[in-house]
Chain A
Amino acid sequence: MTVHANTAAELLHQNREAHPQKAAYLCGEDVLTHQALAVEAARFANLLRARGVGPGDRVVLALPDSFGSVKAFLGAMLLSACPVPVHAALPREDVAFILMDSGASALIAPEDSPAMQAARDVSGLACVLPCSLGGPWGLGDFSGGFAAAPPSPDAPGFMLYSSGSTGRPKGVPHAQADLLEPARGWGGGVLGIRERDVFFSASKMSFAYGLISSVGLPLSVGATAALLPGKPGPAELFAAITRYRPTLFFCVPTLYAMLLRSYCPAQGDDLSSLRLCLSAGEALPEGLCRQWALQTGVELLDSMGSTEAFNLFLSNRPSQVRCGSSGQLVPGWEARLVDEAGADVPDGVPGDLRARGAGTCPAYWNRPDKTAESMLPGGWLRTGDMYVRESGFYFHRGRSDDMLKVGAHFVSPVQVEEALREHPAVLECAVAAMLVDGLVRPCAHVVPAAGAEPGTRLAAELLRFARERLEPQQCPVRVLFVDELPRTSTGKVQRFRLRQL
């Protein structure tokens, strides 16, 4: 069996030797050099070891993107533990689920955060560490040297959680070395990343896309990345781009639409530093792709990847952008489009996309049922996305299941329906995709309860009701009242018949 060196140790060493005083990360007014990053990550590894964390242990990081989150992620990797970055704003019960599901030994989160409260709901945590944006208190007391061992090939190197159709997120473990796979085909072959690039991602490190663009890609070439801790709106994103002058900007279609709708060069929005804008997470509408380039003068490249792949396997290429398409195969990847029987379909016929390449997740964490559905024999990943291929370009044609991809998040209609059914005026409901402004949004199809009066007032009331109970991306943007829901002969609701795409 091949023994791989410790990926974090290699990356940190290589950058510290090549350009110690260069900025690795920018956050707020502060700069973290490659030298300081190497020292601080080593300190973090020593701190975790002193607190009882060992190789293979899962370390859940519920941290905003910041110096603290990068130090923690790389520190845990140096120790050959398994960092599990989750969204900093994840509700308490979701963090508790992930702590239990992953069998975590450690939780690192800001003091007084919902994640810290979740630590009280689970047992077995050896280490609960409060951590501010800069890092945990007392980190400087630990040695800045750490002799990292190669990771065990059997233990996960890092793990991300991906939403599931039933609402139970699935752990997606990856080997340490997978962190660098995106730098080969997508980073090197498509984006042409180089040391003098400055990366800036609106997607957080708890998403594969954010971890790739804020950690994997920039560290692989010794570049600089800017980090934004909060939930960025258009104004904050423009301010950050003007301030940090990134060359590459990574964002999702929903936010690109909002950015375009707020773009005011006359008010000081300055995108002149950007050489490319990248989009992933959900299909980029054709008009948005074109208008972005027209209005800002910067090319917007749509790509398609997944947490399971920890990579982008379809992507447009600079100067060859085809708006409305997720692009062409990324070097090193293979793709198949298949019909329901699993047979390849010809160009022009929609098929279910399957992808194969290096660095994919071999199995979900403790979920053999879901693994059998998605990780197919021969190393193929089932994506659940329908595509049409024409002359090497891939065009998204929706999902092959009931899941919605909204604002780059997977949304299960089941959870939204459950929340709405708690309202006394709702007898039955089904949630399906509708296009607003070219982007997929949840639409609620509601059968009103006896005595309830369907109309504008009730629709507005249900939208508000949903917002009090659900995550932003899960909230229906529209309520339609119907007499009955379409069903199969066995009574199963046919959500696909309600889609308005």
Chain B
Amino acid sequence: MPIGLSYITFQSVSYKTEIYRKHIAAERDIGIYALFLMLFTKVIAGPIERVQNLIPQFRIRHNFDFTLFKAGMMQIAFGFFKKVVIADRLGIVVDKVYQNPLAHNGTELIIASLFYSFQVYCDFSGYTDIALGVSKIIGINLTDNFNKPYFSKSISEFWKRWHISLSYWLRDYIFLPISYRLSRKWKEERYLFVRTEKWIYFSAIVVTFLICGFWHGSAWHYVVWGLLFAVYLSFSIATLSYRRKFYKRIKLTNYPRFFSATKLITTFLLVTFTWIFFRAESIGQGCYIVKKITSISVNDTLRLPLNYTEMAFSFLLILILIVKEKFFYLIQTSNTPKWFLIIVLLSLSCYFFGIFIMKQFIYFQF
């Protein structure tokens, strides 16, 4: 597949739709248009930029800005850290287990699936950090694709924080047009005792996530992955009022911190469940893994490709990632010596603890 085909296509669709909707005027400079589609920092795996954000930036003269340079370098360093130290290390376990799930027990499959949740996040957000960092150095601000997605307390919130440029693209060019179209067609207040607006939401969300699944790959397990999110979101809307009543009845709302943590963990586990089908090579394999996970036992032995020290180190890295995202999401770069020290430390960590096995970024295939 040609490099960045899907990203270029999505941007082209966005560009043409925005012109059709008369939100923007057509770009008359082919160079600017080509740059919009193929800016080297984002051509391979996004973010999927909007014309309104990017093209005006091409018309400004960008002089070297040391503040932007420092911020960009910091983002690049963290991007590499996420990719080579965390994602590729967790990937060793994930690849080994998912290559042959028959040879692994429930505990190993659970660990591999949990690791995959963090691998895919560190891999993709690591790439995005590098892309955004490089862009920043040359004075271009790209859309941030991630905003602490594993701190989401609901699936809808997760999609506002995960692959943001894609989810907003899907919302604006698929979900909303379908919803408007259906709302004009379905005139009744209720169908089968369910309010029409809910039917519209269910239909639009299923189509949107079907397309989202197919966009990730022409294999049915990606479709299942997308449909699972559609089911989660539909279920969430359908049961919203009942759940609220239920939470009140069991007095969960009286403990806001505990309630919040429960929602966060539930969301994370639901997302991790979908990643099983995303990572599996087929629906059958995904179902097998889910089935095997339920057979988890205290007698399970671990035969993973990392030794115990490295397994502990991997969990420590995940913890570091969580703490960093929670408390130090944006590192200040105004203090130059401090900035330099952090860059040096990150570079040394990447060098000494990085896994350099020429492993491609996961989202390069999409």
A associates with B: no
